Amino acid sequence: MFELRLLAPEERVEDLSDALDALEALSVSVEDADAQTDAEQALFGEPGMPPPKDGWQRSRVIALFPDEGAAREAATLLSAQDFFAGCEVVGVADVPEQDWVRLTQSQFAPVEITPEFWIVPTWHEPPTQARQTIRLDPGLAFGTGTHPTTRMCLRWIATLQPAAPARVLDYGCGSGILAIGAAKFGAVAIDAVDIDPSAVEATRLNADANAVTLNAGLPDAAQGRYDVVLANILATPLKVLAPLLCAHVAPGGSLVLAGILERQADELKNAYAPYAALEVSDAEDGWILMTARL
pLDDT in tens, 187-242: 989 999 999 898 899 899 999 999 999 999 999 999 999 999 999 998 999 999 99
CATH of domain 106-293: 3.40.50.150
Neighbour-count burial for 162-182, b at 16+ CB within 10 Å, e otherwise: eebbebbbbbbbbbbbbbbbb
What would be the CATH architecture of the domain defined by 2-97?
A: 2-Layer Sandwich (3.30)
The Cα–Cα gap between 145 and 73 comes to 43
The Cα–Cα gap between 196 and 202 comes to 10
The domain ranges of the chain are 2-97, 106-293
Do residues 240 and 255 lie in contact, with contact meaning Cβ atoms separated by under 8 Å? no
Q: Does residue 104 surpass a pLDDT of 80?
A: no
Residue 67 per-residue DSSP state: S
Question: What average pLDDT does range 43-49 have in this prediction?
Answer: 45
User: Side chain identity at 247, as an amino acid letter?
Assistant: A
pLDDT of residue 109: 79
